[in-house]
Amino acid sequence: MLRFILTRVSLVIPTFLGVTFLTFLLIRLVPGDPIEVRVGERGIPPERLLELRHELGLDRPLWHQFLDYIGGVLQGDLGVSLVTRNSVFSEFVTLFPATLELAALAMLFATVVGLPAGIIAAVRRGSIFDHGVMGISLTGYSMPIFWWGLLLILFFSVGLGWTPVSGRLDLLYYVEPVTGFMLIDTLMAGEYGAFWSALHHLILPMIVLGTVPLAVVARMTRSAMLEVLGEDYIRTAKAKGLAGKRVIGMHALRNALIPVVTVIGLQVGTLLGGAILTETIFSWPGVGKWLIESINRRDYPALQGGVLLIATTVMTVNLLVDVLYGVLNPRIRHSR
Amino acid sequence: MPAMPLLDIKNLSVEFTTRAGTFRAVDGIDLTVDEGEVVGIVGESGSGKSVTSLAVMGLLGSNGTVVADRMHFGGKDLLAMSPSQRRKITGKDVAMVFQEPMTSLNPCFTVGFQIMETLKVHEGLSGKALRNRAIELLEQVGIPAPESRLSAFPHQLSGGMNQRVMIAIAIACNPRLLVADEPTTALDVTIQKQILDLLVRLQKERGMALILITHDMGVVAETAQRVVVMYAGQVAETRPVDALFKAPRHPYTGALLDALPERALGKRRLPTIPGVVPGIGDRPQGCLFNPRCRFANDRCRIERPALFDVDAGKARCFYPLADAPVGAGEVL
């Protein structure tokens, strides 16, 4: 097991380098550097521009800048934001819990709804429910996040007034961040009103961000269940005289979960990518919104560091999923 | 008056609805099994043996329709039962062993769990008693070091071992009837013999009835008391094992016996039956066996024979074979 984990971790290194290099290069391909963007249309004297560029080291050759950056990263230094002058790492860590809270709830929503929907669709194959679930999930999967988010805001927030339009917490409340997770912090502070407010703020972004994973989980669960339900051991389970609930919920589901867990793990990447759009739509103060702002300001270190940290998160989650896979599937556990 | 049979089936038909239409896989068969009796069901692939057993177990999917004039087990009407009543019998009083041991056990659960599950559901055992009973069962089916095997997963055991586990699960609740659907087909020849011996020993020790489904006439000769020969979803012949092997009455039975290697000693080629069992769309008119029968005449090609009484049993043929097995010493 340890060997397996070490092998997997060593595979992370090239990915890591690739991600760093790509982000580094791509953001520099965008016209306008941090200084030009900051001075805007008014412009500054060319000598001053060169001077400022020199200060930030932007006049050196690209490869030199890259080696500098990598050198820093390898020592655990992601640099400081060109805009706020705060360390990139500390900015990320402050904002990340908001993203994590949103992503976790979205995934929870996708699993809690998608798994049973997929199971029922498989068991009642060909029924109206089955066709309905598959149709809706195809629609959900194809829906652009920004459009879907705006649609929901228009309907529920603006039209019906059920949920707030944006933000994380009502202005009435202030809760000292401890964990950074609003739901936990408000509960710890004993502010139940704030907790409800936080929950209210979470509902729409959660649905918007969870829609694509929900569709994927539902479809995957259905097809995995359909495959498993035709297996010999399901017939054996029935021949034991077990009730249908036990045959499906235990004998079939346990086997069907194996591919579903993999898919859920792979969705984490989609989820963090989707979080960037969702956070922008809902003004959610997380790393997604922060990254978009960094792009707009050409805040190179912030963007590079943020992407790197998100990539690390995705790789870690995928590693965890692989380990969990072995827990679920004894055949893999023993071959490792 | 003879005692009531344990399993009493009259005119059982099973139909499957497919896109191509309705297919009658089992066509009006009668089957009785007495308490403690060993009945062999033989026939080629596609003759309806397995479907019959699945119908008895209530394991056919929703696209299989079971119709019967009578389907009684231990005096109770199986067809009149609710699904939950049926489940109380299935796995307890009637149990089944399947063909593929490697895929018939759930790969995600330990052997111990899968044995104990049956005991928990039907006998309400728990804790130490449950565990001890599972160990005892593994011992009875000849698994060495049973205690350590409880925590093994199916993929860690061989096919023969897995089949022993399947048998342990099947006999866990002391069933009155065990249905074994080609229990040795997927196994090595040496293991086949062991598993058959095990089944026969358990049957004798426990006095349970056994339906042994196979396409191996040799296996039937060794184990069964009565034989049901099935062809294309119908009973072709049903008679006591000795009488049937000495003098088959249906030409199909005769041809099956001729195809046994030990009966074809001295022949240059092993006799075979030409053609295949008629499938979904090619049922012949008249006797279902007539296209493959060496003795078929015009009557056989037009009229469908009923099951006629022959000595000690029944055969579905207008012209049952005479005493001397026809075809002996002949090369087809």
Task: Give the three-class secondary structure for B322.
Answer: coil
What residue type is assigned to position A291 of the chain?
L
Is some CB atom of chain A closer than 8 A to the CB atom of B155? Answer: yes
Write down the pLDDT at residue B1. 46
Break chain B into its structural domains and give their ranges: 7-224, 231-315
Is some CB atom of chain B closer than 8 A to the CB atom of A328? Answer: yes
Write down the pLDDT at residue B331. 38
Of A236, A239, A241, the CB nearest to B122: A241
Q: Do B87 and A241 touch (CB under 8 A)?
A: yes
- How far apart, in whole angstroms, are the C-alpha atoms of residue A209 and residue A103? 7
pLDDT digits (tens, 9 = 90+) for B6-39: 999 999 999 888 777 788 888 889 999 999 999 9
Report CA-CA distances (Å) from B114 to B111, B150, B152, B232: 5, 9, 11, 35
CA distance B86 to chain A (A): 8
Q: Cβ(A117)–Cβ(A172) under 8 Å?
A: no
Question: What domains, with CATH codes, occur in chain A?
Answer: 2-74 (no CATH), 94-335 (1.10.3720.10)
Kindly list the strands in the beta sheet with B177-181, ordered across the sheet, starting from the edge strand earlier in the chain: B94-97, B177-181, B209-214, B38-42, B226-231, B234-240, B313-315, B308-310
Q: Which residues have CB under 8 Å from B115's CB, separation 6+?
A: B134, B137, B138, B150, B165, B168, B169, B172
What's the sign of the alpha-carbon dihedral B104, B108, B114, B117?
negative
- How far apart, in whole angstroms, are the C-alpha atoms of residue B171 and residue B178? 8
pLDDT in tens, chain A (336 residues): 677 778 777 878 888 888 888 888 888 888 877 777 777 777 777 888 888 888 777 778 888 888 888 888 888 888 888 778 888 888 888 888 889 889 999 999 999 999 999 999 999 988 899 999 999 999 988 888 888 888 988 888 888 878 787 777 777 777 777 777 888 888 887 778 888 888 888 889 999 999 999 999 999 999 999 999 989 999 999 999 898 899 999 999 999 998 898 888 888 888 888 888 899 888 888 888 889 888 888 888 888 888 888 888 888 888 888 777 777 777 776 664
Residue B57 with chain A: CB contacts under 8 Å: 239
Report CA-CA distances (Å) from B159 to A50, A333, B76, B111, B155: 77, 20, 36, 13, 9
Q: Cβ(B180)–Cβ(B8) under 8 Å?
A: no
Does the structure show a pLDDT above 70 at B176?
Answer: yes
- How far apart, in whole angstroms, are the C-alpha atoms of residue B277 and residue B46? 7
Of A240, A241, A255, the CB nearest to B108: A255
Instruction: Residue A99: name the closest of A321, A233, A288 by CA.
Output: A288
Write down the pLDDT at residue A335. 63
- How far apart, in whole angstroms, are the C-alpha atoms of residue A189 and residue A178? 9
Place of tokens 């690739």: A18
Within the 221-280 window of chain A, which residues sit less than 8 Å (CB to CB) from chain B? 231-233, 235-244, 251, 254-255
What's domain B7-224's superfamily in CATH? P-loop containing nucleotide triphosphate hydrolases (3.40.50.300)
Place of tokens 């235990």: A250
Is some CB atom of chain A closer than 8 A to the CB atom of B19? Answer: no
Mean pLDDT of B219-228: 90
Mean pLDDT of B63-81: 88
CA distance A121 to chain B (A): 16
